Amino acid sequence: MTNSAVAQPRSQRRGADDLIGINAVLSAEEREIRDTVRSVVQRRIKPHIASWYEDGELPARELAVELGELGLLGMHLKGYGCAGMSAVAYGLACLELEAGDSGIRSLVSVQGSLAMYAIHAFGSDEQKDQWLPDMASGHRIGCFGLTEPDHGSDPAGMRTRATRSGDDWILTGTKMWITNGSVADVAVVWARTDEGIRGFVVPTDTPGFTANTIKSKMSLRASVTSELVLDGVRLPDSARLPGATSLGAPLRCLNEARFGIVFGALGAARDCLETALAYACSREQFDRPIGGFQLTQQKLADMTLEYGKGFLLALHLGRQKDAGELAPEQVSLGKLNNVREAIEIARTARTVLGASGITGEYPVMRHANNLESVLTYEGTSEMHTLIIGQALTGVGAFR
């Protein structure tokens, strides 16, 4: 056996982050935030996530309070108990949370980038005071009701309606695939009115509001996914988001959530890559570690390249966002590339693990299944492709 066929001692190996030199492009504060969230995920999420996923359950309320105490809920918003951190810091937190599981990152991003952001950006002072502090602490959970059973990629076709009844509004309709819906205290619901699309802050104990948990999922099992039914829900005009006057308002919220995914998907990818690397260095076949074979090393090298390029793209977009210069089509670039490459990394990592890759003992198949959902929520790959195509050509191809 030659020296090249012998696995190097762990001290002589370099992990993907080290090889890429990620620490060199982050500030000391950013590294501290990343490391803090990583340690929480290692301690609180990873020991339990396999069983949560298998059981299709998540202690969402308990986790929300714990994550709120860390300042992770609405962490990129300012005031009302929110941490006011940078976009890059928020992205790094999303990456570490999704290294635990996409469902955990979804809990945080729906709370902060959809429900809280909608109230923060478009709500009245009274709405902000009423909801945001308790949502930032995790003592109240929010959800975001935009997608409908027949209208996902085309939210302009929504059928949920809000009609005037004296000084009140009556909401009727159904929303589908709503993260946090069954555990939420408040739902930000979007509805069609005679004046256009409007948003409403709906306490979930309002008569006529029902949230039904969606079961039998093969993906995002450690996440609460629900159907919202609004059957004549009566709300005062004070429940309407006064700053939301068109479909552009919920689309702005979606862009916030998509930004988190640009970073988050890389967390799942990194966890798969690290798992495959550790397995390749310990699993022996033909009297040598499989990491000593050229084809396995090619897989590890290719996964590391795509992960590294995805990280640098995410970081660049985060710097652009912090400078106030990030355009929606740039977020589409990041979401399309990073989720697509994360799925490919998960699938390749599974081949390195062989049959072990399909078991719950390792996180790879769980991440791969989750990423199938991440690929299509907050805008499918097809929609982001068309957004990029329109930006490049000036011609819309959606219809």
> Which DSSP string do the residues of 118-145 spell out, in sequence order?
HHHHH--HHHHHHHHHHHHHTSS-EEEE
Specify if 352 maps to a domain: yes
The DSSP bridge partners found for residue 164 are 169
What's the pLDDT score for residue 208? 97
Same-domain pairing of 193 and 327: no
Q: How far apart are CA 34 and CA 270, in angstroms?
A: 14
Asked if residue 398 belongs to a domain, the reply is: no
Q: Please check whether residue 132 is in contact with residue 258, taking contact to mean a CB–CB distance below 8 angstroms.
A: no
Choosing from 227, 244, 261, the residue where a domain stops is: 244
Co-location of 375 and 260 in the same domain = yes
How far is 178 from 304, CA to CA, in rounded Å? 33
Residue 399 within any structural domain of the chain = no
- Tell me, yes or no, whether 193 and 275 share the same domain: no
DSSP letter for 354, please.
G
- Eight-state DSSP code of residue 7: P
Q: Are residues 227 and 280 in the same domain?
A: no
**Same domain, residue pair 209 and 253:** no
What CATH number should be reported for the domain holding residue 194?
A: 2.40.110.10
- For residue 19, what are the CA distances in angstroms to 13, 36, 305? 9, 21, 10
Distances (CA, A) of 193 to 151, 157, 181, 189, 352: 17, 12, 23, 12, 53
282 and 205 in one domain? no
Is 215 a member of any domain?
yes
Q: Which tokens belong to 323?
A: 């400078």
| pLDDT < 50: residue spans in the chain | 1-5
Query: For the chain, how many helices (H) and strands (E)?
Result: 13, 11
Residues 253 and 386 in one domain: yes
> Looking at the domain assignment, is residue 2 inside a domain?
no
Domains in the chain: how many in total?
3
For the CA atoms of 111, 116, 117, 121, what is the dihedral angle to 10 degrees? 170
**CATH classification at residue 43:** 1.10.540.10
- 344-382 b/e (C-beta count within 10 Å ≥ 16 → b): bbbebbbebbeeebeeeebbbbbbbbbbebbbbbbbebe
Active site residues: 378
Is 7 within the bounds of a domain? no
CA pair distance 50, 104, nearest whole angstrom:
12
Distance CA 264, CA 260 (A): 6
Q: Which residues contact 55 (CB under 8 A, 6 or more apart)?
A: 221
The last residue of one of the domains, among 221, 244, 267, is 244
103 occurs within a structural domain: yes
Cα separation values, 186 from 104, 108, 145, 205, 239, Å: 19, 15, 10, 8, 11
Q: Are 111 and 142 in contact (CB under 8 A)?
A: yes
Q: Look at phi and psi of residue 80 and say left if phi exceeds 0, alpha if psi is from -120 to 50, else beta.
A: left
Cα–Cα distance between 20 and 22 in angstroms, integer? 6
Residues 86 and 183 in one domain: no
pLDDT, tens digit (0-9, with 9 covering 90-100), for 28-43? 999 999 999 999 999 9
Distance, CA of 77 to CA of 271 (rounded, Å): 28
Query: Closest by alpha carbon to 33, among 265, 318, 235, 301?
Result: 318
The model's pTM: 0.93
> Do 198 and 284 belong together in one domain?
no
| 117 in the same domain as 36 | yes
End residue of a domain, out of 80, 115, 135: 135
Question: What is the reported pLDDT for 5?
Answer: 46
* E strand intervals along 128-195: 142-145, 161-165, 168-179, 186-193
**Domain contains 5:** no
| 119, 240 Cβ separation under 8 angstroms | no
Cα separation, 117 vs 311, in Å, equals: 25
Q: Is 385 exposed, middle or buried (0-12, 13-18, 19+ CB in 10 A)?
A: middle
Instruction: Tokens for 28, please give them.
Output: 């000391």
Host domain of residue 374: 246-391
Q: CATH number of the domain at 354, please.
A: 1.20.140.10
| Same domain (yes/no): 96, 155 | no
Q: Are residues 238 and 250 in the same domain?
A: no
